Amino acid sequence: MAAATVPSLKIAVLHYQPRGEEVDPVVTHVTDALKELGHTTVTIGVHDIVFDLLKAIEDAKPDLVFNVCETFADDYRLEVNIAALMELARVNFTGSGTAGLLLAQDKILTKQLLEYHEVNTPNFLTFDGEAFEAFGRLTFPLIVKPARTDASLGIGKHSVVKDWDELTRRVRDIRKTFNDEALAEEFIDGREVYVGVIGTPTRPEILPIVELNWGDWDASVPRVSDREVKFGAMTDTSPYLVMAENIGPDLQARIERSALLAFRALKIRDYARVDFRISNKTGEPFVLEVNPNPYLEKESELAMGAEERGISYTQLIGRIVESAAIRHQLKVRPEKPTTGETPGVEAKDRSRAETSGS
Ligand SMILES: Nc1ncnc2c1ncn2[C@@H]1O[C@H](COP(=O)(O)OP(=O)(O)O)[C@@H](O)[C@H]1O
Ligand SMILES: [Mg+2]
């Protein structure tokens, strides 16, 4: 795909910054990439004071905010409110807006939408505190999760239940601990793969498939990517990410089609990662969830998939900026610049900055 020309922009990298904690490496990775692409950068860390966030944006007057903020005030469910706030303040930002973040955050809503689009997801049962509602025929074991979880919060080997008694206990625990609806899904025993999608809904690119290799996982314990797998210290026996091999063309096509339909159905913008399980029993792929704001660090699944496609990390960040810049009409030129012009410098779109504060 011919690269569009994005003018040199002032870009604010917006990230979650709990007080007293170190800055997440993703902030440096994204900032360095943006600089390499010729943009000017500032970073804005937000914890729990919304006025500070608005003030920082107002002071910086960025052309674009690169949004890697996944939490607000220690509550990952407020990730969507950050996008809502930027929409209200008419700030241009990368990644999904309120709609995409909200739809994908709710795993039940996601499954209902995917069902409509005939994308395979595990049969499931919901419990909203009043009644169970089942979708499809269910066979134990099931995995029970909060409807709106992230980063495996509330998910572990204890989430896998083999009968109604265990199920009821988990559902109650989720209501108590997370004050959330519970989602119970058929536990799909099989390979776990991740698929990155980048670009606009009309011109998306599906990245090569990344797989979780389970390392020396104890065979008697259900394979669940819990917080230890995701964030624990790596040892020689830990699970690790690899490029998926031995995925036949039919399976690959099904996975790619599901990822694309999910991207569109959930109104995702610029980039996302779709998590799958491939059933050992039937060989079918099942979408587990869609991440509209996936971790974008250099070693992330998305970066690995991009690298395999020949898209360097810097180019990946550039592609995200490009997709957002097109949406926000930041004077992106679809063709290569004609010779003699300094790419983009004159083209800075400062209209937001000029109208703000009035
Ligand atoms: N239906 C399922 N079958 C098998 N494993 C599952 C299923 N749902 C979740 N898991 C396991 O739990 C992990 C976290 O679940 P996921 O729905 O992706 O939540 P999160 O938003 O916390 O990442 C998955 O990566 C997978 O290992
Ligand atoms: Mg996940």
127-166: per-residue pLDDT in tens? 887 888 888 889 999 999 988 877 778 788 899 999 999 9
- At 263-293, the pLDDT tens digits run 999 999 999 999 999 999 999 999 999 999 9
pLDDT of residue 230: 87
Ligand 1 atom at shortest distance from the alpha carbon of 286: 1
- What is the token pair recorded at 2? 């011919």
- At 278-334, the pLDDT tens digits run 999 999 999 999 999 999 999 999 999 999 999 999 999 999 999 999 999 997 776
In angstroms, the CA 256 to CA 205 distance is 10
In angstroms, the CA 4 to CA 340 distance is 17
Ligand 1 atom at shortest distance from the alpha carbon of 288: 17
CATH of the domain spanning 121-186: 3.30.1490
pLDDT of residue 336: 59
Q: How far is the CA of 49 from the centre of ligand 1 (A)?
A: 32
Q: How far is the CA of 275 from the centre of ligand 2 (A)?
A: 6
Q: How far is the CA of 200 from the centre of ligand 1 (A)?
A: 26
State the span(s) of the chain assigned CATH 3.40.50. 10-95+311-355
**SS3 assignment, position 277:** strand
pLDDT of residue 339: 52
> Residue by residue, what is the 3-state secondary structure of 85-146?
HHHHCCCCECCCCHHHHHHHHCHHHHHHHHHHCCCCCCCEEEECCCCEEEECCCCCCEEEEE
- What is the token pair recorded at 322? 């490009």
- At 225-247, the pLDDT tens digits run 988 888 888 888 889 999 999 99
- At 22-66, the pLDDT tens digits run 999 999 999 999 999 999 999 999 999 999 999 999 999 999 999
Q: How far is the CA of 39 from the centre of ligand 1 (A)?
A: 37
Ligand nearest to the CA of 226: 1
Q: Ligand 1, residues 160, 231, 275: which to mutate, most atoms within 8 A of Cβ?
A: 275
**SS3 assignment, position 324:** helix
pLDDT of residue 257: 97
Task: Find the residues whose C-beta lies inside 6 A of ligand 1.
Answer: 122, 143, 145, 149-152, 155, 185, 187-188, 192, 224-225, 275, 277, 288-289
pLDDT of residue 50: 95
In angstroms, the CA 324 to CA 92 distance is 8
The DSSP symbol for 2 reads: P
Ligand 1 atom at shortest distance from the alpha carbon of 187: 3
pLDDT greater than 90 at residue 208: yes
| Alpha carbon distances (Å) from 18 to 27, 66, 109, 143, 293 | 14, 18, 30, 31, 18
Q: What are phi and psi of 136, to 5 degrees?
A: 85, 170
Of 48, 144, 113, 119, the closest CA to residue 265 belongs to 113
In angstroms, the CA 342 to CA 349 distance is 16
pLDDT of residue 153: 80
pTM value is: 0.91
One-letter identity of residue 239: P
Ligand nearest to the CA of 183: 1
Of 148, 114, 118, 81, the closest CA to residue 263 belongs to 114
Q: Kindly report the average pLDDT of the chain as a whole number.
A: 90
pLDDT greater than 70 at residue 356: no
Ligand nearest to the CA of 149: 1
In angstroms, the CA 275 to CA 343 distance is 38
Q: How far is the CA of 288 from the centre of ligand 1 (A)?
A: 6
- At 170-185, the pLDDT tens digits run 999 988 888 888 999 9
10-95+311-355: CATH class: alpha beta
Ligand 1 atom at shortest distance from the alpha carbon of 275: 18
pLDDT greater than 50 at residue 358: no
What's the first-to-final CA gap in the chain, in angstroms?
40
Q: How far is the CA of 152 from the centre of ligand 2 (A)?
A: 7
In angstroms, the CA 343 to CA 110 distance is 41
Ligand nearest to the CA of 193: 1
Residue with the nearest Cα to atom 22 of ligand 1?
Answer: 152
Q: How far is the CA of 287 from the centre of ligand 2 (A)?
A: 10
In angstroms, the CA 12 to CA 161 distance is 44
pLDDT greater than 90 at residue 102: yes
Residue with the nearest Cα to atom 15 of ligand 1?
Answer: 152
pLDDT of residue 352: 39
State the span(s) of the chain assigned CATH 3.30.1490. 121-186
| Alpha carbon distances (Å) from 345 to 136, 271, 320, 352 | 56, 26, 20, 17
